[in-house]
Amino acid sequence: MRCGLCTSPPKFIFESAISRKEPTKNTMLPSLSDRWGATLQVLLPSTSEPGSVSARRNALVELKKIDAVCISSSGKGSQTRYAVEVAVGDSSPTACSGLSVTATEHVARTEREQSDFKEVANELHDIVNSAHSGKRCELCSAILTWYVFGENPDGVRLMFISKERIARKLTTFLEELLATTLKFSSDEVSLACCSGQIFIPQAVHKFMFNPPTACDAS
- Where are the chain's structural domains? 52-217
Closest to 128 (Cα-Cα) out of 143, 107, 114, 118? 143
Closest to 84 (Cα-Cα) out of 46, 93, 76? 93
The predicted-structure confidence for 31-86, as pLDDT tens digits, reads as follows: 545 554 555 555 555 556 677 788 888 999 999 999 999 999 988 877 889 999 99
> pTM for this one?
0.69
Give the whole-angstrom CA distance, residue 117 versus residue 173: 9
Which long-range CB contacts under 8 A does 11-20 form with residues at least 24 apart? Answer: none
- pLDDT band per the 50, 70, 90 thresholds, residue 217: very low
**Dihedral sign for Cα atoms in the order 62, 65, 71, 75:** negative
- Asked if residues 158 and 169 have their Cβ atoms less than 8 Å apart, the reply is yes
Going through the chain in order, the beta strands assigned E by DSSP cover: 66-74, 81-88, 106-112
Q: 3-state DSSP call for residue 5? A: helix
More confident residue, 179 or 14: 179
- Asked if residues 78 and 97 have their Cβ atoms less than 8 Å apart, the reply is no
Identity of the highest mean pLDDT range in 52-61, 144-153, 186-195, 206-215: 144-153
Q: In the prediction, which pLDDT does 218 show? A: 42
215 backbone dihedrals φ, ψ, rounded to 5°: -70, -40
Give the whole-angstrom CA distance, residue 121 versus residue 123: 5
Averaged pLDDT score across all residues of the chain: 77
